[in-house]
Each structure stands twice: as C-alpha cells, then as structure tokens.
Amino acid sequence: MRREINRRRTFAIISHPDAGKTTLTEKLLYMGGAIREAGEIKARKADRHARSDWMSMEQERGISVTSSVMQFRYKELEMNLLDTPGHRDFSEDTYRVLTAADSVIMVLDNAKGVEQQTRKLMEVCRMRDMPVITFINKMDRHGLPPLDLLQNIEESLDLETVPLSWPIGQGDRFRGTYNLHRDELHLFSHADMEGNHERLPIESIDDSRLDDVLGDQAEDLRFDVELMREAGNDLDKQAYLDGRQTPVFFGSALSNFGVGDMLDSFVELAPTPRPRPTTTRTVQPEEANFSGVVFKIQANMDPKHRDRMAFVRVCSGRFKRGMKVVHQRTGDETRLQNATTFMAQDRAGVDTAYPGDIIGIMNHGTIKIGDTFTDGEELHFTGVPSFAPEHFRKVHLDDPFRAKHLNKGLTQLSEEGAIQVFRPLRGNAYILGAVGALQFDVTVARLDDEYNVDAHLSGVRYTCCRWVSGPADVLDDFEAKNIDNLFRDAEGNLAYLGLSQFRLDRTIDDWPELSFEKTKEHT
C-alpha cells in the first residue's frame, strides 16, 4: 500500500490563457508515453475552440472526458494530471478540481508574469497551502528580465521564489539554462523543436568550457548565478510543501526545453497523496479502509443516457472493481461495478485504484458535490467547497406551469455544482450565480434538454457574493437592514449579494460580529 501511495503524484497545471498550459500538458503526456505524437492535445483544443456553442461542444463528449483527468507514467511513477478548464469554459469546476490535487505546476508567460486568472487560481491554492512549482515559459521569445519575473511572483502572490534553473539570455539570444543544483548546462537549439537538446555536465560555474560554448554570455551567466547564490533563497523542501516557497524553472514548452528538468524535480519534490480532513478526523492515505470524495460531476457523458459521471478522488485504502461502498449522505449501499479510470487516450475500466487516483462513478442524479463514499465507516470529507460566484443572472420562466420543473432542475444542477441558485428573502425570482459565464449557457441548455423547461436569463446588478453567519440576534438586525441584498442558497445558507466590492467592504466593516465567507462547505 505504502509503495503504491509513494508512486503517485496527483497535480494540476494552472495558468492564464495562452501562457502555454496545453503545450506543457502535451509535452508531459508525450514524455510519459500517454500520447504518441506531440500535437494531439493541441488539435483537440483547437477543435474545441472552433465550436461556438456549448451544446455542439458537448456533443464531442469524448473531449471533455479524456481531458478531465490524464494519467501517465513517468520514471515508474503514476502521474494523475487534473485538467483545470480555462478560457471560455472557466467555471467553478476549475476551482474545485484544484481541491482534488495535492500540488500544482504554475505556468507563466515570460513576457507577462502573473496574470489575472493565475492569481485567482492561486488564491484557491493558498487556501489549502498547496505546494507550487513554477515554470516560466516561452524563453525562446523575448520577455521580462528573469529577476523582474521572480520579483513579480514574490510580490503578487506573496510566495518566496527559488530558481532551480537559470536562463542564459532570451528570445534570439536564448542559449539554454543552467541547473543551479546539478551544475549542468542545458543547451537550447532554436532549430530543435523535438526536445533533444544537449546537456553538458560541468565542474562548476567557473568551468572554462562555459566560455567555449557560451562566448560573451558566459560572464553574464556567472554574474547571475553568483547573485542567486549569494542573495537568493535556499531551497527549503518544507517551505515548498507548506506552500510558502516555489521552486522556479525557465524553459520553452513549445520546443520541449526545460520541461524534463522541471519534471525531474517535480517528481522528487512534489508530495505523495496527502491526508484529507473530514468532519470528525483526518484520514491518512495508508489506512486500510477505502474512502473517497466527489469533487466534480460531469453531465451528458453519453448522449444516449442522462447519466452523469461523479469524479471521486480516492483518499484512503484500495479501491477494487465491484466492491461495495456506502454513499455516506444517503446511507445507500452500492456495488461499484462500472467504475472508470482515466488514461489520456481513453476511458478504461479500472480494477484497482489507490489513494491519489481518480475514479469515475456513473450517477443517476443522486450524487452531490462533496459526497463521501467509504467501505463502511461513517465519514464526511470536507474541503470541496462552493466558491463565491462572480457573475449573476435572474431566471425568467415563460410558462408558469413549468415552475415545479424549474425548481427541480435548478436543485439538481446546483447539487452537481453546475450552477449556484439563490432565492431572495423578499420576492421569489431565482438568481443564478456562477464563477464563469459559460455556466449560464450550460444551465439554460440543460434545463431545456433534461427538464423540458424553457427559461431565459437577464442581467442583474450584483457583482459579488459572501456567505454570512454569526450570532442570531445580530443576524436578525442585519437581515432587517439589508433585506434587498439577502438570499438563501440551495442549502438554505444566508448569502449577501453586493452591488460592488466597495459596498461589500463597507458592509463587512459595518458588521464586525458577522463573518462573510468566500467559500462554503457542502453540508
């Protein structure tokens, strides 16, 4: 059991659109032998973006399945790479998937540094003290000076940086990287896009071979390396594991340069499957009994059925096909005959899975985000929360006789985490909340398709949301004074919807006895 756990790394790649996440993913899968040709994932992505509306996009069901979880092997290790949807399909799932990962690789564009979507995703990583390795990409193009990039990470993410490789020039003058830990020179060839770049072990930074190979750039490198060694931070594995320090690599994903270097350090440093909190105790991965938590539900996996797939992260014990498990929220016992595991190419039936692995369970609408499965013990995992929505719409129904169906549809969709639903304390129109605007299109399409409800949405002025709790008497007073901003979510929790960040901040200041939360645990 310990051996299997130690062999696993479950992680996600986060980035702002266009920084190179798809390109890097592809190189990782290629190096892991999970795809035969570089270009496969890219082609799928292009295909996906060529489609304009969600329904036709979803008709290519296979795309979303295979890219949700990608398993590949690297140096005898089982790598579970979780996809964090970005671009148009950025949604609450993007955040939630991170809660199933043990660590992340952050990809930055060397010309842009930390961008907005990366910052948002990093907020979620910071909530969970998640270890982060940074890959600064596109060094074959001209970008910001490396020191500025490090400073940018430190300042905008409050994260100490430790460069483990150092770039030699960039753009046209990019010659490669110097591995600061192994004293190794990696030479970049602009002509070689396959990644067969030369590695040159050298004695030390003073080795005269550097001058032979790098010419006048050798002195610049020596200066930089000396500066790093004197003024830079030392690698502190514990600080990395605690999410306080990030090892940094420079490279060019497109030409597969620096990716292997980063991956080698990743497998050495990145945590094996970590313990997970429950409402009663912390579950250790090596415990003999099986347990798992649902972090994502995907609908319409098969166009012929209304089935949904629940993605379960195995938290402890060994999963075996056909084993009996208890769905903790309902108390129902089910036999997991048809669980699925995820190879990059195909869905494949799974016989055995270990902590850190992801399995897919078919679901007929009874499974909710955050649900726990065990082989007996009563447990409820925490840490797969809802995230405060940032986009809001009001729901209108043309046919009032479909109100019951609308209600049912919205309840189920919110249980799946597809959308958040709020009911005003005064009045009765539903407000929908989403982290990514595409969630609204998906909701309208699914209400029509699965519940035969013809709903349409209109804009509202709310821009932010917080879940509110506190002493009952203060809450009574708060409700009376803020009635027009107050709502109950699908689980009955009180939520404040604000018209602007400024107003929200003022409300928070005005009510110091109340707590205003950006995330909410499922109950």
DSSP readout, 447-495?
HHHHH---EEEEE-S--EEEEEE--HHHHHHHHHHSGGGEEEETT--EE
335 phi/psi in degrees, rounded to 5: -100, 125
CB of 513 to ligand G4P, least distance (A): 43
- Answer yes or no: is 15 a known binding residue: yes
Q: Read off the DSSP letter of residue 3.
A: H
Q: Does 19 engage in binding with ligand G4P (CB under 6 A)? A: yes
CB of 232 to ligand G4P, least distance (A): 24
CB of 256 to ligand G4P, least distance (A): 9
Q: Does 23 engage in binding with ligand G4P (CB under 6 A)? A: yes
- Answer yes or no: is 452 a known binding residue: no
Interaction pattern, residues 31-70, with ligand G4P; x per rule: CB under 6 A: -----------x----------------------------
Interaction pattern, residues 236-255, with ligand G4P; x per rule: CB under 6 A: ----------------xxx-
- Answer yes or no: is 86 a known binding residue: yes
3 state DSSP class of 355: coil
Interaction pattern, residues 101-140, with ligand G4P; x per rule: CB under 6 A: ------------------------------------xx-x
3 state DSSP class of 274: coil
- Answer yes or no: is 52 a known binding residue: no
Measured between its terminal Cα atoms, the distance across the chain in Å is 31
CB of 435 to ligand G4P, least distance (A): 18
Write the CB contacts of 330 (distance below 8 Å, at least 6 apart in sequence).
366
- Confirm if 35 and 344 have CB atoms less than 8 A apart: yes
Q: Which is nearer to ligand G4P, 71 or 137 (CB)?
A: 137
CB of 95 to ligand G4P, least distance (A): 17
For 201, the token pair is 């072990």
Strands, sheet with 324-327, edge to edge from the N-terminal-most edge strand: 332-335, 324-327, 372-374, 291-299, 308-316, 358-363, 340-342, 347-349
Q: Does 17 engage in binding with ligand G4P (CB under 6 A)? A: yes
Distance CA 20, CA 17 (A): 8
Q: Does 195 engage in binding with ligand G4P (CB under 6 A)? A: no
- Answer yes or no: is 85 a known binding residue: yes
Distances (CA, A) of 92 to 188, 237, 421: 39, 31, 13
* List of residues contacting ligand G4P (CB under 6 A): 15, 17-23, 42, 137-138, 140-141, 252-254
Binding-site residues for GTP: 15-22, 83-87, 137-140
Binding-site residues from annotation: 15-22, 83-87, 137-140
